[in-house]
A and B are shown apart, each in its own frame.
Chain A
Amino acid sequence: MKQVTLPELGEGIESANVTFWYFKEGDTVKEKDDLVELATDKAAFNLPSPCSGKLAKILHQEGDTVKVGEVLANIEETG
C-alpha cells in the first residue's frame, strides 16, 4: 500500500483544501495520473499518483483542509 501525502508546497504554506478527486475509490490509476486537485488561497495545483494501482481509500473529501505531510489517499500497488 502506498500513501499519497501532501508534499511541501512552499515556505509558510501549511495546508491546502481538496478541490476535487479525479478518481473515486476502487478506480484503477496509472503512475503520474492526476489524482486530486488542491488549492491554497490563490493557487490551484494537482497531485499525481506516485504509482500504478487501485485507489483503495480516499481519506480527505472535497472541501477538506489537509496539512502538509498528511495522508490523502492509499493506493494498492499493482505490477
Chain B
Amino acid sequence: MAFKLFDLGLADFQSAWDFQKKIFLQVKQKELFSALILCQHKPVITLGRKSKRENILTEETELERSNIKTYQIERGGDVTYHGPGQLCIYPIANLAYFKRDINWFLRSLEATLLEVLFDFGIKAEAIPGLTGIWVNSTQTNVGVESKQEKIASIGIAIRNWITFHGASLNIKRDDLANFSLIRPCGLDIIMTSMEDVLGKEVRINRVKETLKRRWYETSNFARTG
C-alpha cells in the first residue's frame, strides 16, 4: 500500500483544488489508499480559516492588474502566496491507516521536508509552536544578526481523518518578491528560498525527485504497517 502519486506540473489553483477534492473522495470511498499530489501554481493568494483580510497588503485592483487571484479556502492557517517557483505538496492521507493525530501528521510532514532540504545541504529546522520550516539567516548572510527565515509553509484541512492541502516549499528566488503583497501567515516574517540559501540555481524537478525518494523510502508515510 503506497500513496498514489499525481504530478500536476504547473496548474492553476482552482483546477488543482478541484483535483484535490476529487482525489479526497476516492480516498474516502477507499478506492485509493492515500495520494500525494505535487504541483506548482501560477501566482495566487490563498486565505486559510485563520486569515484576516488586513494581512493582504495590496489593493484588490492592483492584484487584478497583476492577474493574481485570491481564494478563501478550507485549510487552517492564515494568508499565503503561491507561485511557480514553489513546490506545493498536497498529501491526501487517510490517517486512519497511520495515526489519528493532527500533530503527528504535521510533524511527519515537517520531518520529510527537513530531510529533503538536508539532501540539498540546507540545515533547516521546525520550531515548536510555529508550524513550517525555518532556516537561520546566518547561512546566507555572514555577519548579520541571526534570524529565522521561513522556507516552507504548512496549512492543512482534515475531514473524516483524511488530510488535504499541505505544504509549499520555496525553491526559486524570483518568486519571493510577491510575498510582499501579503503578511505571510499573519506574521512579520522574512521568507527565503532554497536558491537564496544555497546561492545557486535549484531545479524544481530535482527537488521533486528528492521529495519522492524521501516520501516513499524514509518518511513516516512510507510505513503503513
Contacts and interface: CB of A to CB of B under 8 A. Distances in A.
Given A11-B101, A19-B49, A39-B49, A45 B106 contact: no
29 contacts: A8-B100, A9-B101, A9-B102, A9-B103, A10-B100, A10-B103, A10-B105, A11-B101, A11-B104, A12-B103, A13-B103, A19-B49, A37-B49, A37-B74, A39-B49, A39-B76, A40-B102, A41-B77, A42-B131, A43-B76, A43-B155, A43-B156, A43-B158, A44-B74, A44-B76, A44-B156, A45-B158, A46-B158, A48-B160
Interface of B: 48-50, 74-77, 100-106, 131, 154-160
A36 B74 CA distance: 13
A43 B159 contact: no
A76 interface: no
Interface in A29-55: 34, 37, 39-46, 48
Contacts of B103: 9-13
Contact of A42 (B104, B154, B159): B154
A13 B76 contact: no
Interface of A: 8-13, 19, 34, 37, 39-46, 48
B101 A42 contact: no
Contacts of A8: 100
A42 to B, nearest CB: 4
Contacts of A9: 101-103
Contacts of B160: 46, 48
Nearest to A20: B49
A10 B106 CA distance: 10
Given A37-B49, A39-B49, A39-B50, A44 B75 contact: yes
Given A44-B49, A46-B159, 6 more contacts: A10-B100, A39-B49, A40-B76, A43-B157, A43-B158, A45-B158
